[in-house]
Structure 1
Amino acid sequence: MCAETTPRPDYKSTLNLPKTEFPMRAGLPRREPEWLARWAQIGVYDRLRQKKGREPFTLHDGPPYANGHLHIGHALNKTIKDMIVRSHQMMGFDARYIPGWDCHGLPIEWKIEEQYRKKGRDKDQVPINEFRGECRAFAAEWVDVQREEFKRLGITGNWDDPYLTMDFHAERVIAEEFMKFLMNGTLYQGSKPVMWSPVEQTALAEAEVEYHDKESFTVWVKFRVVTPGDLEGAQVVIWTTTPWTMPSNKAVVYGDDISYGLYEVTATPEECWASVGDRYLLADNLAADVLGRARLEDGMWTRVRDVPASELAGLELAHPLKGADGSDGEWDDNRDFRAADFVNDDEGTGFVHCAPSHGMEEFELYRDLGMLEQVITYNVNPDGRFRDDLPFFGGTAILKPNGKEGNANKVIIDKLAEVGGLLARGKIKHSYPHSWRSKAPVIYRNTPQWFAAIDKPVGDGQDQHGKTIRERALTEIDNVNWVPKSGRNRLHSMMEVRPDWVLSRQRAWGVPLTCFTKKGALPTDEDFLLRNPQVNRRITSAFEGEGADAWYEDGAKKRFLEGIVNPEDYDQVTDILDVWFDSGSTHAFTLRDRPDGTEDGIADVYMEGTDQHRGWFHSSLLQSVGTTGRAPYRNVVTHGMTLDEKGFKQSKSLGNITPPKDVINQYGADILRLWVAQTDYTADQRIGPEILKGVADSYRRLRNTMRYMLGALNDFSESDRVEPADMPELERWVLHRLTELDDVVRDGYAKFDFQGVFQAVFTFATLDLSAFYFDIRKDALYCDGDTLRRRSARTVLDILFHRLTTWLAPVLVFTMEEVWLERFPGEDSSVHLVDIPQTPDAWRDPDLAAKWAKVRAARRVVTAALEVQRVEKVIGASLEAAPIVYVEDADQRAALESVSFEDVSITSDITVTGDPAPDDAFRMAETPGVAVVFAKAAGAKCERCWKVLPDVGTHAHPGICKRCDEAVGDAA
């Protein structure tokens, strides 16, 4: 018979193994909507507003257009804003966020017109308020769509009461803010070249224009000298990339400091527009190039003599179309010829043709000379066609209605060739302004428009920030904190040189320019504009109750003027305001007028893309300094543009777009938010499938860290808590690290540096915690009984939990809520209702940190030495080892001897010595003075903690070590 054997005990049930239902797999796309619904149910945003005694902090939302689904740029923008708001709330502020939408303007009007065209309807035949009503309904529909898409990203805010530029109160305030320009004397009507979209038939602001490469016709045109003298009959040659402006030419200008010469043709090839004996006036630096363009090779021309600028002065020129049959005298007047400071000899011919109706520099030159009446033309209609009665070119189009090249350039070039006015022609590819809505090229066109004068004294000119809008703006720019700092220089340089603000648009959907002009008066007359406070109050009162549609109702003029002035004496302006004036005024009706606004009407933060230096940041500053003298913001934060993984601009045609919805459906919104936190948003960012995979991996590692803590904190209670002074050194080192991290997190969030915050926290979680502290304390947490060491570790884990969840909550809004609720379930519980806990400065211990830096350095050498043995299959785990560690530095050696270095190194035993290390000892170049010789641990493997120790099997419970024997006994 066999002897009866006693079965070996199973010690697994005696271990303190982690217990948590927190899943390894997040399932974010499925679960995130549940948290959104929960936040709405418990009213998180409103409950935060009820916290009393907090300093207000307001981020004013730059309004997106309500006209389409969100793109990745929207997701980036709103997520950064959300991180700013949430982080400041959790740092103790009353952080308010009122989302808003830009509801007026051409983007929406254009969509309604597209619908009309499909139905064969004519917009001009529809009553204006019926059309405006369709625009309003279209915008309202997209506000609702975008609101839900923004909320799905986890964006917190007052979603139930956003601001809309089409709300009646908003329209009233926009009109009211416009009237301040009317009343302070900066509003005027002028006729000057503005960027004009023939496709959309309206003026455009610089912010509504983007630049794309365009192939243009280019011509070298001859203007004959008609002044008697030695140069009579010589030809001044100009170069232009806009042949369509030639019918509007009124002058040619030259540079005072440019070297000019007279060049004569001595021979010609077969096909050439030059003739032997022709004489050309050209800049010397450009003559060879110009003559080469005319197919004149070296030897076919000669330089006759110098022509100083003093000789050019006083010459008159003939337009190349002068005297052409059928011209009806249109171009018979001689052209002005004078010096101008914008002429150079970098390209072209050294001479510039001037059509002041289509070029700002030329316009300003002749305006300053008092000669505008002699040089302004009105040859181009709003649709980009030449006026019908213009000889040769009447009715020809610069651009077709679809934005493509019209026939005007070709017809003009052909006519110039026919009359002998061309020297050469060609094509050039260059950067050219396009409307960012229709994507069609724009032109400069002289039209009557309404402007805000930025160099005219505002009111009485008495303001501490400056007399004029420009002076005030430049002063206020330096009173703002710019993130990044380059934003200051960008806006400052723009503001230094910008022209007057074009306020008017020739469209229907927007807030009208609520002003009246006196019939028969000139724009320069003092009484041209009606400036009457009583009239203004009538208008704003009507707008408050009925919206801006009141301006377009039948009898509106009589309604607003009767009883104050004679309505028949005035004309009502029908243009609408530039939508940048709308959005530039949002601070007035959002910050100033709302209970959840700000006391002084100034936002703590404006945050938008870098393109808004010429957009919303720009118009908001102009509008605010024009009416209040101050900037509407204290901080301006700027993000770059979003590119694909290869650094290319995202576009549907390239198939490289990353729609936020696709990312959310595949990974969840938290992965998209984590991508934002990981990137340097101040520069252009990249996104794509491979980048998102990397983000998802970082998320997985963080999630595992949080899962580990949750498991180890199972059943933790206040009775387990240990005071820091009673903790082992390793725990006190972790607390010290928390004081350092708390500084980094708070400073980073205050400076809007989310990348810096996340990198610091992620590095701490993965290297300091997972790869070091957790790795070491796993043994004590699992295998110790009710020891001070284990209770200290769990206390530190609880402290870590509260900081990591709140530090990361502004970024991973859904995941940190899930983590929080796993420990603190409850109907009203939410991580977003708590603040980042204060970290006592008493935990700071730099001497201890310096000591543990030495310990960690030595540990890295031991770990690397054991990895060699593991790879060579000498050992399976580090607990099978008992290495000898040779340490030259006495302080480092003392540090290792004062701690349980075998526990720190996760070995069963370890020997630290100051003896000289053998030559074959393991070393690491980055840690000089430390060497390791491998040795196996003596004894047997403990069946409970797996350490290899000599005392295993000598205690009451078989097969385990003394520590485990005591722990099992305690558990029993």
Structure 2
Amino acid sequence: MCADTTDTKTATPDYKDTLNLPQTDFPMRAGLPKREPGWLERWEEIGIYDRLRETAGDRTPFTLHDGPPYANGHLHIGHALNKTIKDIIVRSHQMMGHDARYIPGWDCHGLPIEWKIEEQYRAKGQDKDQVNVVDFRQECRKFAESWIDVQREEFKRLGVTGCWDRPYLTMDFRAERIIAEEFQKFLMTGTLYQGSKPVMWSPVEKTALAEAEVEYHDKESFTIWVKFPVTEFRLPEVDVSDEEMSDDEREAVVQARAEARDAFVGTKVVIWTTTPWTIPSNKAVVFGSDFSYGLYEVTDTPGECWARAGERFILADKLAAQTFAKARLEDGMWRRVRDVTPEQLAGMELAHPLAGAEGGQGEWDDPRDFRAADFVTDEEGTGFVHCAPSHGMEEYELYRGLGMLAQVITYNVMDDGSFREDLPFFGGKRILKENGKEGDANKAVIDTLVANGGLLARGKIKHSYPHSWRSKAPVIYRNTAQWFAAIDRPVGDGQDENGKTIRERALTCIDQVKWTPQSGRNRLHSMMESRPDWVLSRQRAWGVPLTCFTKKGGKPTDPNFLLRDPAVNARILAAFEEEGADAWYKDGAKERFLGNDYDASEWDQVFDILDVWFDSGSTHAFVLRDREDGTEDGIADVYMEGTDQHRGWFHSSMLQACGTMGRAPYRNVVTHGFTLDEKGNKMSKSLGNTVGPEDVIKQYGADILRLWVAQADYTSDQRIGPEILKGTADSYRRLRNTMRFMLGALSHFREEDRVAHEDMPELERWVLHRVAELDERVRTGYRAFDFQGTFRALFDFATVDLSAFYFDIRKDALYCDGDTTRRRAARTVMDILFHRLTTWLAPILVFTTEEVWLERFPGERSSVHLQDMPETPQAWRDDALAAKWAEVRRARRVVTAALEVKRTEKVIGASLEAAPIVHVDSEDTLGALRSVAFEDVCITSDIALTNDPAPAEAYRLPEVDGIAVVFETADGAKCQRCWKILPDVGTHAHPDVCGRCDDALS
């Protein structure tokens, strides 16, 4: 550095006020929790959503159809994830030029609300069944209304935009009317039928459940090994009169048959089950046709044992040892006597273990069917499966295929899970108590089997078992009369380009939909391939009834069992439009709807209600098709829900729409995972690891919660917790710094300051190239619902390309230049960046981008959310320039790393004290560095570039080939205005400044 020649008697001028320092009132501390509600109020006053609709013009509509949350409680973090993803989708498509519509909705019918009202009755000692059904339904309606108002405000607090003043509700009168109309389409096209089959049944809630209403939890169950006596043995007759058969051969055949009969009759086939309560409903036993079976004899017993010495059992060889171990028979207490072939098993006749029991009243005296079945395994149990087709789908399907349902279906279990009162031994016993705990049925069955010699062993097992997700109580399979939509029966005349049946149409339409992630397609496709007919009915009170009538005394198989009359249907729909579904339950409803055309005494009115999944599956009809802000073709651009909705809303919507309009109601399906705590554990109040959205908003603000959503790969399960949120807040602060720098640099920017692209320095043109690249990446990402990738690209651009590179370099020109092209070009680029970053980030950071926008463009009706993402000229793309600046940045990395070493060693305090020598092997790279102001790029006062070989002590970065740096200090004096150290400082009109600053001051 030069010696200080300043006259000590003359004070150095303070040049601070001559700098173009950033000017902005934008605060570093966001204060989001306190400030966000003010922006919400402002948007409410402006009417953002409605203004966008009013000014839509000929924009292409884009509709995300909202999967309705249930109106019965405060929001949890999964709701926040779900609604934020939806909001990002809607806002991004709006800002990319669409008329993006979002009509929020609520699921209002069904068991959860009904259950809450029943709980209130029970607390008061009242019986729900004694209350007028219309009055009861009105209480359910009021309960749903109260929670809709709560949830609406909670959703809005997340910054979610939408038609909040006109949401859709499944309990609106018009919605109930259309749901009934959609059901009537199934009635009129012949896909509706009444059948009796095992369905998931909640004894506690006394209703059938859909698979989507069931969750699996560990449960400890009784497990028993039961003896089914062989009472008869027959083999196919052999013609012993064959003249070619010798007398000895003929005698051997007869003797073998007699020996086999003597060997098998009186033995016991052993079954294993985890549901002892199904034994009274047993009608058959099945075996595997490909397994190895043996006849085993007990040779000794330990004393306390339900097996007797000499007793013989037939078991799968693979499972025999463990079965005897369960019966407390050690090795050496049993022996294998002989093989038992599947052909021999097929010749046996079995008796129920309670056959002939005293007091059994002949209930179980009929022989049990005994045959092979393909669902038997030899992985656990005994190799034999006891069949109660009233309580198991596999057994039901087997005997339905055999045409034997009439012989094997029982009605032993009532709707509350108790045995029918007249069932011997077990009448009135309950599988579950009213509180969902173990009842006395299993114990009664086990005790009765013991008393009658039918039990070989017993124990307990802990296994995954279906529970109602509402009552949390276990469920059972129970044969009941229900209403079904036949998914393999031709719909109407069967004429449809996508298929004749609902299943065919669904499987075809699945491949017409774009799935994000693609695995969603495979999941729904496999479910649709194997699913049974759709159970439409529930035995409850709060919902839309199955609006149909049946012939009194008729059979479901009769062609005229169901009344199919358009005039009757029209009367029902007119009443629902005016009065809601309550009209079905009012006095005289049957006579009113049947009119004068039918004798009401000849028809029964159905009072089951529709499965709520039919309600939500029908929403496309009264939201997309029926509203003026719906879609022209009744199809949504996107459905977006959690991955559990492949068996829920996505599934039921596909079934319903394929049944009524022959196609899917959506073009895109997007799914997200579940929310977990930081350790990857499921959230649970009992574990104390839940994260409530209201808690996050209170501490950080909704924008931080939205940023957490955008940063995560929502297609997988999401983790959230204190440390993760701290990291999210840090990312937010870095972005806020970027926005604040731009605002400061743009103070007093005027249109006349703008510089054309072709007149800009290379560095500015490189930034605009990156803008053009990023614009394409952002739009592609938003369209593909890839928010993590989109945000990552934006974040890296803002923090790496801008804050750590471009802004760092251009601070000097922005602060110290006069009215130069360089400074005006930099501010022009800042303005371009401002408009793009605010609109690119607006779908994610809805509050912060609004704050940034209003800092520059205040006004009563101003809002970033009324803007579109600006179109980006393709002329800004310059791949050759980008390649050149990639080399410049590569070399810069080595220089800045070398200077950081000297800073750490306290050789220098700031990079402007340096004037390094940079050795460059490549002539092309050297040329690139010489063509730019590389000292400005590296933020040094000077720099020397050479292709001379670098000395051994030169600094190198292992990952950057061909660049080496030799440190040198800058020569000259420190400019008191820009702080560069230059030889010409002090030689100009203004003291102690460099030539550039002297020009600026002049």
Fold shared, TM-score > 0.5 on shorter chain = yes
Partner of 1:917: 950
Q: Equivalents in 1 of 2:194, 2:8: separation in Å?
A: 111
Q: Equivalents in 1 of 2:30, 2:121: separation in Å?
A: 47
Partner of 2:239: none
- Contact (CA 8 Å) 1:605, 1:634: kept in 2 or not? yes
Q: Equivalents in 2 of 1:804, 1:401: separation in Å?
A: 59
Q: Equivalents in 2 of 1:4, 1:205: separation in Å?
A: 91
- Contact (CA 8 Å) 1:508, 1:576: kept in 2 or not? yes
Partner of 2:506: 473
Shift of 1:4: 9.4
Shift of 1:765: 0.4
Partner of 1:23: 27
Q: Equivalents in 1 of 2:956, 2:863: separation in Å?
A: 50
Secondary structure, counterpart of 1:316 in structure 2: strand
Partner of 1:139: 144
Shift of 1:158: 0.4
Secondary structure, counterpart of 1:213 in structure 2: strand
Match of 2:218 among 213, 216, 219: 213
Secondary structure, counterpart of 2:596 in structure 1: coil
1:546 aligns with 2:592: no
Shift of 1:382: 0.7
Shift of 1:878: 0.3
Q: Equivalents in 1 of 2:595, 2:968: separation in Å?
A: 104
Q: Equivalents in 1 of 2:722, 2:892: separation in Å?
A: 38
Partner of 1:519: 552
Q: Which amino acid is the alignment partner of residue 327 of structure 1?
A: G
1:669 aligns with 2:702: yes
Shift of 1:568: 1.2
1:751 aligns with 2:784: yes
Partner of 1:62: 67
Q: Equivalents in 1 of 2:277, 2:37: separation in Å?
A: 57
Shift of 1:5: 2.8
Q: Equivalents in 2 of 1:683, 1:895: separation in Å?
A: 45
Comparing 303-312 and 182-191, the one that deviates more: 303-312
1:379 aligns with 2:418: no
Q: Equivalents in 2 of 1:123, 1:625: separation in Å?
A: 37
Match of 2:42 among 23, 38, 43: 38
Q: Equivalents in 1 of 2:271, 2:125: separation in Å?
A: 46
Comparing 599-608 and 344-353, the one that deviates more: 344-353
Q: Which amino acid is the alignment partner of residue 197 of structure 1?
A: S
Comparing 358-367 and 575-584, the one that deviates more: 358-367
Structure 2 matches for 1:218-297, cutoff 5 A?
218-228=223-233, 229-230=261-262, 231-297=264-330
Structure 2 matches for 1:125-164, cutoff 5 A?
125-164=130-169
- Contact (CA 8 Å) 2:568, 2:595: kept in 1 or not? no
**CA deviation vs aligned residue, 1:712-760 (integer Å, no higher than 9, x gap):** 0000010110001000000000000011101110000000000011000
Q: Equivalents in 1 of 2:711, 2:602: separation in Å?
A: 63
Shift of 1:334: 1.2
Structure 1 unaligned spans of 5+: none
- Contact (CA 8 Å) 1:314, 1:338: kept in 2 or not? no
Shift of 1:563: 1.2
- Contact (CA 8 Å) 2:590, 2:605: kept in 1 or not? yes
Shift of 1:270: 2.4
Structure 2 matches for 1:344-383, cutoff 5 A?
344-383=377-416
Displacement over 6 Å in runs of 4+? none
Shift of 1:287: 1.3
Secondary structure, counterpart of 1:716 in structure 2: coil
Partner of 2:799: 766
Match of 1:123 among 115, 128, 131: 128
Q: Equivalents in 1 of 2:603, 2:48: separation in Å?
A: 54
Q: Equivalents in 2 of 1:774, 1:8: separation in Å?
A: 29
Partner of 1:461: 494
Q: Equivalents in 2 of 1:29, 1:122: separation in Å?
A: 46
- Contact (CA 8 Å) 1:61, 1:606: kept in 2 or not? yes
Aligned length in residues: 967
Partner of 1:880: 913
Match of 1:93 among 87, 92, 98: 98
Structure 2 matches for 1:665-814, cutoff 5 A?
665-814=698-847
**CA deviation vs aligned residue, 1:331-385 (integer Å, no higher than 9, x gap):** 1111111111111212111110000110011111111212111111111111111
**CA deviation vs aligned residue, 1:456-490 (integer Å, no higher than 9, x gap):** 11111111111111111101001000000000000
1:202 aligns with 2:202: no
1:5 aligns with 2:9: yes
Q: Equivalents in 2 of 1:307, 1:578: separation in Å?
A: 48
**CA deviation vs aligned residue, 1:136-171 (integer Å, no higher than 9, x gap):** 011011111100110010000000100000000000
Q: Which amino acid is the alignment partner of residue 191 of structure 1?
A: S
Q: Equivalents in 2 of 1:947, 1:270: separation in Å?
A: 101
Shift of 1:698: 0.3
Partner of 1:84: 89
**CA deviation vs aligned residue, 1:582-605 (integer Å, no higher than 9, x gap):** 000000000000000000000000
Q: Equivalents in 1 of 2:75, 2:384: separation in Å?
A: 49
1:856 aligns with 2:884: no
Q: Equivalents in 1 of 2:100, 2:444: separation in Å?
A: 62
- Contact (CA 8 Å) 1:388, 1:394: kept in 2 or not? yes
Q: Equivalents in 2 of 1:489, 1:295: separation in Å?
A: 47
Fraction of identical pairs, as percent: 78
Structure 2 matches for 1:812-823, cutoff 5 A?
812-823=845-856
Comparing 37-46 and 707-716, the one that deviates more: 37-46
Q: Equivalents in 2 of 1:484, 1:468: separation in Å?
A: 27
**CA deviation vs aligned residue, 1:543-573 (integer Å, no higher than 9, x gap):** 0010000000000000001212111110000
**CA deviation vs aligned residue, 1:371-409 (integer Å, no higher than 9, x gap):** 111111111111111112211111111111111111111
Match of 1:425 among 435, 453, 458: 458
**CA deviation vs aligned residue, 1:17-71 (integer Å, no higher than 9, x gap):** 0000000011111111111111111111011112201000000000000001100
Secondary structure, counterpart of 1:624 in structure 2: helix
Secondary structure, counterpart of 2:232 in structure 1: coil
- Contact (CA 8 Å) 1:174, 1:582: kept in 2 or not? yes
Secondary structure, counterpart of 2:142 in structure 1: helix
After TM superposition, the score normalised by the length of structure 2 is 0.96
Q: Equivalents in 1 of 2:604, 2:537: separation in Å?
A: 16
Secondary structure, counterpart of 1:922 in structure 2: coil
Shift of 1:302: 1.5
**CA deviation vs aligned residue, 1:102-150 (integer Å, no higher than 9, x gap):** 0000011111111111112111111000000000011011111100110
- Contact (CA 8 Å) 1:535, 1:564: kept in 2 or not? no
**CA deviation vs aligned residue, 1:857-906 (integer Å, no higher than 9, x gap):** 01000000000000010000000000001110111111111100000000
Secondary structure, counterpart of 1:357 in structure 2: helix
Q: Equivalents in 2 of 1:159, 1:74: separation in Å?
A: 16
Q: Equivalents in 2 of 1:680, 1:370: separation in Å?
A: 51
1:844 aligns with 2:848: no
Structure 2 matches for 1:322-361, cutoff 5 A?
322-361=355-394
Q: Equivalents in 2 of 1:10, 1:95: separation in Å?
A: 55
Q: Equivalents in 2 of 1:892, 1:565: separation in Å?
A: 94
Shift of 1:7: 2.3
Shift of 1:314: 3.1
Secondary structure, counterpart of 1:222 in structure 2: strand
- Contact (CA 8 Å) 1:283, 1:350: kept in 2 or not? yes
- Contact (CA 8 Å) 2:134, 2:585: kept in 1 or not? yes
After TM superposition, the score normalised by the length of structure 1 is 0.99
- Contact (CA 8 Å) 1:385, 1:395: kept in 2 or not? yes
Structure 2 matches for 1:614-653, cutoff 5 A?
614-653=647-686
Shift of 1:297: 2.0
Partner of 1:537: 570
Shift of 1:262: 0.8
Q: Which amino acid is the alignment partner of residue 371 of structure 2?
A: R
